Structures are given as structure tokens and as C-alpha cells.
């Protein structure tokens, strides 16, 4: 749960000394009109208990609330507004906002009359934002005008290769080809902080813990600080298609063909690049705020300790084979994969990789983002320009945002959320290699905008698979259930144990016999396995976005339901 604020419960005077009260128990009346607190004080070894009651806005007679402000408009360049909350001295209240785009200084809870300061960052949007403050039955509407020189949507003639978002610094880092560049983008103001020319076409990108980015190109990896200056370049002898940073000093890179290298980013170590070593996965993904990372290959997910060179494999677990695209939650307790399935993370093989659930109506996820504060997933499928929102615990459908790009040939390539999910950023691109184009779009969540805000409703029907992707032996029962059958997982586990056992055999005849059993078992089980996406076994550079995402025209946004718009997805 997210901490939102606190209210002091007071002090008492005992024998001339001021002693603070300490809460023992708290409970509401059945009608919610009063909050009762049992507290105690301690002085000279003796304890005294007190009962204190607070009125709440649920009873407008004992706890009337009014909201006033000398101004109701935030500057488009960002600023603050003071709101006066008039309430009786014993009235306990909570301030609610229709959107987390506006923030408060201090606690959103208060007791009695108070003046609270609200802040809004600079906006780069071309539409006015409207917000509603609510305390009990009282409400106040605030707004922020459109930027007269809007920076969204922002278009650029280049092909997007990869993008990463740092929610703490509000930096969107992306690399392009034609031209080969790295961009550091300020999402709040809507503009480039730095544009750096690269020596060759980039292939992969990852953010490092020390406010830097690693970019792979050719057989090299360049480290670039987010301030815009090169720091170092390494010849790694492989073309890395995925990279993970286990710490601020160690980077592991993998080529998608079972080979990896490790790079020491410590400037005082002369031998910075390790020898090439073998790994048993196609794609790696770092676990946030951890030195662990996961390697995904077919139905096996392997966990590694990245503090070692080469990385040390801890164990492997059987998952559903859709790890060719994965996204971790911000607090790293789960990951979401390309088939819309969520899995729990853990510290042992028995509790790691457990199936958590599936996003309703989805069996293909092209891009996803997570907000731990707002407890939501934002996902897009690639077959439309809808961004759909789901509760991260129940996986319940919350609503969608339909993007209207400046060009109908653009489709969503990647999406990002601010920490509080107050704003969503989308990077779109087209599928024309002769005239590449990308666009960055931004939308405030939880308030009416010129385009559509989030519209709450029923979960959508399953979306059609994008053209150009072939799925072999994918029975409808497997898609509907969301989790591979126990029979399937059992067969895969047995084959995995059989293969693992061959490493311990020293006799050639026993080895041949064991391998024969493995082949026979795999052939017998193959017709029953839902090989949902064989393309997932290929490195990313071999999968063309144009074959995965048909250029579909997006209908213009229809009239939005203003009541639904005003609701926050939180």
C-alpha cells in the first residue's frame, strides 16, 4: 500500500510535562461519520489511556467543508496554487485529486482548517487540462491552459530502434537509425536535452544505474551519460541484441545466439571486456533494483546472479514460452510477457516464475509499462493505437486511451508511465524503411483533454493477431485458460530433467541411450505443445516491425464521456 500522509493525534500535560499520545487502536463508526481512536500516554512508568473521536465529512452537519482559492489556473510553464480548506476544528478530512498530474506539499490528510499548496509541472500539451479537487462533498475545479508552442506530438524523420524511460529523472532515452543517433528527451517540457551521433546503426539500448545508457552497435558497446557526453567505448566481439546491468560497474551483453560477454565499467580495471562465453537463452531482462537478471528461451526461464563473470545460473523454471518480450513491475514482484501473462518473481525455484494471471481479452502485448504508485499496467497490442489500462493486482480492465497520431501510418512502438501514472508517453513509428518517421505523444491521465481521456468500460474482446505472425498448434483452450496445462508443463519438465541428466553420464552407450529417450519423448509431446510464437526464438534484429505490425488507420476519437473522463484510473 502507498503511504499518503498522516495527522497528529495531539499531546497531553501530565504533572507539568507535555507527553505525546501514542495510538493503540482505531476504528470507524458503522456509518463512517466518526473515527474513534484509543491512545495512551506514558509518564514515570505509568500508562494512561484516552479515547478521542474525530468527525468526518460523511456527516455534513458536524463536519462541513468548503474549498476556496484566489486563483484556479496553473501557468502552462508550471506553478503552484494555494487552496484554503474551511472545516471545523475536529473535522478529519482527505483531499482527493482527479489526476496525479497535480501534486501536494505534505499530507493529503488534515484536521480542521488548513491551507494546502498544489503544484503542477510545465505542460508541453496543445490542449487545456482540467482537474477536480474534492474534500467530502465540496469540490473545486482547476485548470492548466494549453502550451502556446506545444511540443507534443513531436515528429522526427528517423527509424526508432529502442527506447527506455527513467521515471525518476523524467528522461526518455531512445536510439534511431537513418540517422544513427541517441536522444535524451525531457518528457515534462517536451524537448531534446541532448542528441548524440553514433558511429553505426544501433541494435539495443539499456539504461545504467549511474545516469548513463549503453548502446550496442556492430561489435561494440558505447556508454553515454544522460548529460550527453561519451564516457567509454568497448569492443565486445559480438553484436549484442540484449544487455543487462547487474550493478553500476558490470554490464552483461548477449547476441541472441547463445553467446555473451561481460564488460567492467570500472575505469581502473585495465581488462574491461571478458572472453566470449556460452549461455542457454536468447534474450535477457534485468530485474529492477537487483543484481539478478532472467534469461528467456522457449519454455524455460533461467535466473542468474549478475555479480559474477560469466553470470552464475541459479536455477530454471518452466513458463509459457512468451518471454521474447517482457516487462517487470517497478517493485520487481512480477513480470508481464508478450502473451499477456503475469508471473511472480521469487528467491527460490519453488516460488519464482509462478503463474499470476492473464490480462483479460489479450493474448498479444507489444509494449507495456507499470506504475507502482497507481497500481496499474498500461499495455498496447500493436494491432491498434489503443493504450489499455489494467489493475496490477486483480488484472481487471480499467479503461483505454485511443491515440490519434498525426499520420495514419504510425503505430505504437513503446509506451511509458510516470511514477504516479499521471501522464503516459507513447513513441510511435511507421513501417516504411524508405521514409522512416517517429512520433512522441503525451497524454495526461484522469482529466478531460482535447484527445480522448481514459474511458472506463467492459473488458474488450480478444484482439485479432497481427498479420504476418504465424502461431503453430495454438488450441483455443490454451489461449482462453491463460496458463499452459499441467500435462504440458510436466512433459517439458521431464524433458528438461532428462537433458540435464546427460551431463552426468560418462559411458558413451548410456549417453546415446539417454539422448535417444530425450528425442523420443520430445517427438511424442510435440503435437500437444502450444508453440505459440516460434519467432520468439529469434533475436530481435531478425524480426521486422513491419511484419509484426500492419499499418492500420486509427479512427478519430469520438465524443468522450465527460463523467468517465474525470475519473482517475487509480
Say if residue 18 is in the same domain as residue 71: no
Domain end point (choices 287, 318, 349): 318
Per DSSP, the residues of 6-22 read -----EEEETTEEEE-E
Q: How many CB atoms lie within 10 A of CB 409?
A: 15
C-alpha cell at 35: 473515527
pLDDT of residue 255: 93
pLDDT of residue 529: 41
User: Do 251 and 263 meet the contact criterion of CB atoms below 8 Å apart?
Assistant: yes
pLDDT of residue 422: 78
Q: Which residues of 479-503 are buried (b: 16+ CB within 10 A; e: fewer)?
A: beebbbeeebbebbeebbebeeeee
Could you tell me which of 395, 312, 331 has the C-alpha nearest to residue 357? 395
Q: For residue range 337-352, list pLDDT tens digits in order.
A: 999 999 999 988 888 9
pLDDT of residue 304: 94
pLDDT of residue 536: 38
H helix and E strand count, the chain: 5, 42
Say if residue 456 is in the same domain as residue 555: yes
Per DSSP, the three-state class of 440 is strand
Say if residue 31 is in the same domain as residue 110: no
Q: For residue range 466-511, list pLDDT tens digits in order.
A: 443 333 333 333 333 344 454 555 555 555 555 555 444 455 566 5
Domain end point (choices 318, 338, 363): 318
Say if residue 277 is in the same domain as residue 357: no
Instruction: Please determine, for residue 131, whether its predicted confidence score (pLDDT) is greater than 70.
Output: yes
Residue 489 lies in a domain: no
Say if residue 165 is in the same domain as residue 197: yes
Q: For residue range 521-561, list pLDDT tens digits in order.
A: 555 544 444 433 333 333 333 333 333 333 333 333 333 33
Could you tell me which of 105, 171, 182, 98 has the C-alpha nearest to residue 135? 98
Angle at 433 between CA 432 and CA 439, to 5 degrees: 65
Structural domain count of the chain: 5
pLDDT of residue 315: 92
Cis peptide before 21 (omega within 30 of 0): no
C-alpha cell at 490: 510436466
Q: For residue range 299-333, list pLDDT tens digits in order.
A: 889 999 998 889 999 999 988 888 888 999 988 99
CA quadruple 13, 15, 20, 22: dihedral positive or negative?
negative
Contacts of 172-176 spanning 24+ positions with Cβ under 8 A = 172/416, 172/425, 172/427, 172/440, 173/205, 173/207, 173/213, 173/226, 174/205, 174/414, 174/427, 175/202, 175/205, 175/215, 176/202, 176/438
Model pTM?
A: 0.63
Residue 196 lies in a domain: yes
Domain residue limits at 193: 151-228
Q: For residue range 134-153, list pLDDT tens digits in order.
A: 888 888 989 888 776 667 78
Q: How confident is the model at residue 567 (pLDDT cuts 50, 70, 90)?
A: very low
Say if residue 45 is in the same domain as residue 97: no
Instruction: Please determine, for residue 370, whether its predicted confidence score (pLDDT) is greater than 70.
Output: yes
Say if residue 306 is in the same domain as residue 451: no
Q: Mean of the per-residue pLDDT values for the chain?
A: 75
pLDDT of residue 530: 40
Amino acid at each position: 500500500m502507498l503511504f499518503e500522509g498522516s495527522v497528529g493525534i495531539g499531546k497531553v500535560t501530565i504533572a507539568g510535562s507535555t507527553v505525546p499520545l501514542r495510538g493503540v487502536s482505531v476504528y470507524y463508526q458503522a456509518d463512517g461519520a466518526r473515527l474513534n481512536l484509543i491512545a495512551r500516554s506514558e509518564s514515570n512508568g505509568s500508562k494512561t489511556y484516552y479515547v478521542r473521536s474525530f468527525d468526518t465529512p460523511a456527516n455534513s452537519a458536524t463536519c462541513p467543508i468548503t474549498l476556496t482559492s484566489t486563483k484556479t489556473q496553473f501557468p502552462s510553464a508550471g506553478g503552484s496554487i494555494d487552496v484554503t480548506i474551511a472545516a471545523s476544528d475536529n473535522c478529519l478530512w482527505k483531499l482527493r485529486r482527479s489526476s496525479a498530474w497535480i501534486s501536494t506539499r505534505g499530507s493529503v490528510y488534515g484536521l480542521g482548517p488548513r491551507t494546502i499548496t498544489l503544484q503542477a509541472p510545465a505542460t508541453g500539451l496543445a490542449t487545456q487540462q482540467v482537474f477536480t479537487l474534492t474534500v467530502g462533498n465540496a469540490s473545486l475545479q482547476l485548470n492548466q491552459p494549453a502550451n502556446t508552442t506545444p511540443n507534443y506530438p513531436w515528429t522526427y524523420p528517423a527509424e526508432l530502434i529502442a527506447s527506455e524511460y527513467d521515471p525518476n529523472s523524467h528522461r526518455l532515452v531512445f536510439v534511431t537509425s537513418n540517422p544513427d543517433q541517441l536522444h535524451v528527451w525531457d518528457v515534462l517540457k517536451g524537448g531534446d536535452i541532448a542528441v548524440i551521433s553514433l558511429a553505426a546503426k544501433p541494435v539495443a539500448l539499456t539504461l545504467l544505474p549511474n545516469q548513463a545508457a549503453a548502446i550496442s552497435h556492430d561489435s561494440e558497446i558505447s556508454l553515454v551519460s544522460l548529460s550527453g557526453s561519451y564516457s567509454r567505448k568497448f569492443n565486445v566481439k559480438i553484436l549484442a541484441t540484449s544487455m543487462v546491468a547487474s550493478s553500476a560497474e558490470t554490464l552483461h551483453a548477449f547476441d541472441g545466439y547463445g553467446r555473451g560477454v561481460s564488460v567492467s565499467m570500472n575505469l581502473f580495471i585495465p581488462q574491461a571486456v571478458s572472453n566470449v562465453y556460452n549461455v542457454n537463452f536468447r534474450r535477457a531482462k534485468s530485474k529492477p533494483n537487483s543484481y539478478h537478471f532472467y534469461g528467456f528461451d522457449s519454455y524455460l526461464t533461467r535466473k542468474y546472479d549478475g555479480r559474477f563473470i560469466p553470470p552464475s545460473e541459479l536455477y530454471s523454471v518452466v513458463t509459457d514460452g512468451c518471454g521474447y518480450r517482457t516487462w517487470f513491475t517497478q517493485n520487481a514482484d512480477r513480470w508481464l510477457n508478450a502473451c499477456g501473462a503475469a508471473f511472480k518473481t521469487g528467491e527460490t525455484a519453488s516460488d519464482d516464475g509462478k503463474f499470476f494471471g492473464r490480462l483479460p481479452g489479450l493474448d498479444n502485448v507489444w509494449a507495456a509499462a507499470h506504475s507502482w504508485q497507481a497500481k496499474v499496467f498500461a499495455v498496447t497490442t500493436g494491432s491498434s493505437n489503443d493504450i489499455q489500462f489494467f489493475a496490477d493486482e486483480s488484472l481487471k480492465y480499467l479503461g483505454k486511451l485511443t491515440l490519434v497520431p498525426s499520420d495514419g501510418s504510425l503505430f505504437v512502438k513503446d509506451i511509458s508511465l510516470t511514477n504516479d501514472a499521471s501522464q503516459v508517453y507513447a513513441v510511435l513509428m511507421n513501417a516504411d524503411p524508405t521514409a522512416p518517421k517517429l512520433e512522441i505523444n503525451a497524454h495526461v491521465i484522469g482529466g478531460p483533454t482535447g484527445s480522448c481521456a481514459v474511458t472506463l468500460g467492459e473488458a474488450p474482446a480478444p484482439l485479432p493477431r497481427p498479420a504476418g505472425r504465424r502461431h503453430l498448434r495454438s488450441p483455443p483452450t490454451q489461449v482462453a485458460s491463460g496458463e499452459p496445462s499441467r500435462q504440458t508443463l510436466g512433459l517439458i519438465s521431464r524433458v528438461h530433467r532428462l537433458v540435464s541428466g546427460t551431463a552426468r553420464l560418462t559411458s558413451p552407450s548410456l549417453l546415446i541411450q539417454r539422448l535417444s529417450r530425450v528425442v523420443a519423448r520430445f517427438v511424442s509431446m510435440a503435437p500437444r505443445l502450444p508453440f505459440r510464437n516460434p519467432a520468439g526464438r529469434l533475436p530481435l534484429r531478425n524480426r521486422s516491425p513491419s511484419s509484426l505490425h500492419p499499418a492500420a488507420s486509427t479512427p478519430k476519437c469520438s465524443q468522450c464521456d465527460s463523467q468517465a473522463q474525470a475519473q482517475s484510473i487509480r
